[in-house]
Structure 1
Amino acid sequence: MKKGLALILLLSFVPLANACYNPMDSLAVEVRLNRPGISYDLSPLLNAENIIIDNGTIIYRSHYDERVGVILREINSSLWIRIQIPAKSFESAYAYASFESPLLISNESFERIKALGWEVKNYTFRKGSLYVQISPRKGNECKSDSDCSIGGCSGEVCTTRELAREIVTPCVYKEWYSCLRLTSCGCYNGLCTWKPTLEFEKCLKEHGVDPSKVIKLPLAEVYIAVYGKEKPGEEDVVELKALFEELGISCVLDNLQFKAEITNSPEGVIDPYSFNFSKALEIELKWLRENGIIEISDEDISAIVNVAERGKAGQNSHIGWYKKNGIYTWIPYDESDKPLLVKCASPPFNISIPKGEIVLKSSSTPSQSRAQGEVCGPALILGLLLVPLLFRK
C-alpha cells in the first residue's frame, strides 16, 4: 500500500506529456527503430555468452559503461533499444534553496552561460545534477516606451511620463552620464528604465557604476536544486557561482541555506546527470550494426544521438521516427504531431545485468528473415505494460 501511494504521489508531479510514466525512465534513454528501411536480426544474440533472455527481452552489459544495461525488445515488428542505469535504491535525495533578487539577463548573458556548459531553455538552466529556475516578475509602470520619459537636470533619469515632469535632481554632471548615449529610455519588463545593452553595461562598469543602480530591475524568484545530494558539494558551488556571476548575483551564495528532501524516485548506481546517455546509445547502435544485428545508416544514428538524453524513454517520451510539423524525423514521441499520449502508471523495476561482457558465437545461425520497422498503433501498449514483469524487482 505504501509503495502504491508513493508512486501516485510521484506521478502527481509528472507533466501530462509524461502521463504514462515509470520512475525508471528517469535513468534511461530509449529508441524505437521504426523508420521504414531499418531492419534487424536478433539471431546472433540468441546463443551469445553473458546475456539474459527472458520471454523475448534481451539484456546485456553496455559497451560504454559496464555498470549499465542494454535492453532489446521486439514489439509489433519494431526493435526497441534502451540504455538503462540500474537503481541502487528507490529513494533519492536532493538539496534545494530559493531567494528573490533584482535580476538582469541579457541575450549576451545567455550566450556566455551556454559557453560555461549550461543547457539553457528560456529561464531554466541545467548542468549535470544542477537545476536553476528563474521566474521573472513584471512591473506595472508601463506597457510601451511611450509611457516613459527622460527627466533630471542632465537628462540622467528615466521614469514615467508623469514623474519625469516633476523630478528634480542636482545639476552636477557625472562622467558616467556619457554612457547614456549607448542606450535609450523605455519600457522594459513593465518598468520605465534605461534599457540594458552589453555596451551600456560595460560603459557603466568602466566608470565604476553598478548597472543595477541605473537599470531598474523587477524582482525575480530564483530556485536552485542539486539532485542526488543532501547538500551541494564544493564543485557544485563553483558551478553555481560561475552561473550567478554572469547573472550579477554571485554574492547570494555566501549566505544561502539549502534544505534537504527525500523523494520516492530511483537513485541510480551511477549519477544519471553526468552519465552521457547519447554517447552510450551511439556506441551501442554502432556495435549492433557492426555485428549484423541492425541495419541502419550513419545519418540515422547521428539524428537519433542528437536528440538522445536522460529521460527520453517509455511509451510517451521514447525517441522514434515520427512526424513533426508534417515532416518525419527522429524525435521524442511526445514532441510529435498529435501524439496519442497514454495515461498509465507502472511500478519501478530493476534489472539484472550479466557478469561479463557479451560474447557473440561465430556458430550462431542468422535468421532467414528480417523485420522492417513500421509504425504501429496502440497495440504496443500491452507489451509495454508487461515490461516490468520481465525484470527482477
Structure 2
Amino acid sequence: MNFDLDESHRIIRATAQRFARNVIAPRAYELATSAEVPYDLIAKMGELGFMGIPFAPEYGGGGGDWVSLHLVIEAISRADMGLGTLIDVTTSVVTQEIDRFGTEAQKQKWLPDLCAGKTIGAFALTEPHSGSDAGALKTRAVFEDGEWVLNGRKQFITNVALDNCPLVVVAARAEIEGQDRIVTFIAPKSSPGFIVGRSYHKIAFASGATNELVFENCRLGADSLLGDPRRGFAQHLSVLETGRISIAAACVGGAQACLDHALAYARERVQFGKPIFEFQATQFKLSDMAVKIEMARTLYLKAAWLKDQGRPHTFEAASAKLYASEILEQCASEAVQIFGGNGLMEDYPVAGIYRASKIMQIVEGTSEVQRLIIGRLLAAGKES
C-alpha cells in the first residue's frame, strides 16, 4: 500500500497551492463579504488548466486524473471554498456529465471552452418541492414540432446568473416510450423561455451567485437531449457521486485553513504572560483538528483514487462527504473559540469559514442523505 503522491500530483498540487496563497488568499475578505463575482480569478484558474484536468486533450482537457482535480479543489478551498465549489459544479458535475454521456457533437460544442475555463456550467436539479427527494421533481418536457418544450421552476442554482455561464444541465420529467421518466437536457441560456430568476442571499459565499431558474415554454432543439432518456436520473446520480468527493475536498481545504489560522494566532496571542499555544487546552483543540483533517483527506483521496481505477466508490464518496463536511464545522467552531472575540469579527477569515461550514453539510446531498446511502449499502452487505 503506497500513500505517496506521484510527481504529477505533487506538481499540480504545488501549483494550486501557490496560486491560492499568492493570488486568492489576499482577497479572502473581499470574496467572503462582497457580491462581486471574481471573474478574473475564474479566468486565471482556467488558464492554469484547473478546470479540465481529468478530461481528454482532444476536448481541451489536461489528460489527468480525478485525484489531481481533487488536490486542486482542496488547495483552492484553503483560500476560498466558494471557488473550490465552483470547480465542483463546473468540472465534477456539468463537464463530466457531458463528457460521459454526450454525443460527439455535444462534446465538440461545449467541452473545449468548459475545460479551458472560458465558460462555466450550471446544474439544475433542485426544485421548490424536491430537495433531498430529487426524484420528486416536477419540471416537465414535452416533445412537439421537433423541439423539446420545458416548463417548471428550479431553485438554488449555482453559477447560472454568471456572465461566463452559457449553459445549464437540466433534469425534467418526460414521457419516454410510454413511461414517465427523468430526462436530462443541455439548455443554452439563450433559449427562448429560459428565465434567470431572483438571486438568493446566502449566509456565506457572497461572491458565488445562486439563483432561481424558470422555464416558461422554453424551447430546446431535439439535439439538446443529453444521454439515454431512459437513464437520465441515473446519469445525475453518477456525477453527483463525484460531486460528493469534490465537496469533501473543499471541506478539507476549509478545515485546513481553520487549523492554519488558529495555529498562527495561538502562537502570537499572549494571555497570562505566555502565548495561548502553550496552554494544554489550546494544544488539544489544535491536535484534534489536525487528526480529523488528516482522516478526511485520506477518505476523499481514496474515493478519488477508486474512481480513477474504475472501481465502485459509492460508499467511499458518501463517507468522505459526510465526514469532511461535519469535521469542517467542528474545526471552524474550535478555530473561532481559539480566536475568542476576534473569531466573531469579519476581519478574521475563520468567521466566514464557520458560516460556510453549514452550507457544506447541505450541498451535494445532506449529511442525512449520506447516512441513508451508507445505511443502504450496509443493509446490502457492503464490506470495507
- TM-score interval for Structure 1 and Structure 2 normalised by the shorter chain: under 0.3
TM-score by length of 1: 0.23
Per residue, is there more helix in 1 or in 2? 2
Structure with the larger RCO, 1 or 2 (CA within 8 Å, 6+ apart) = 1
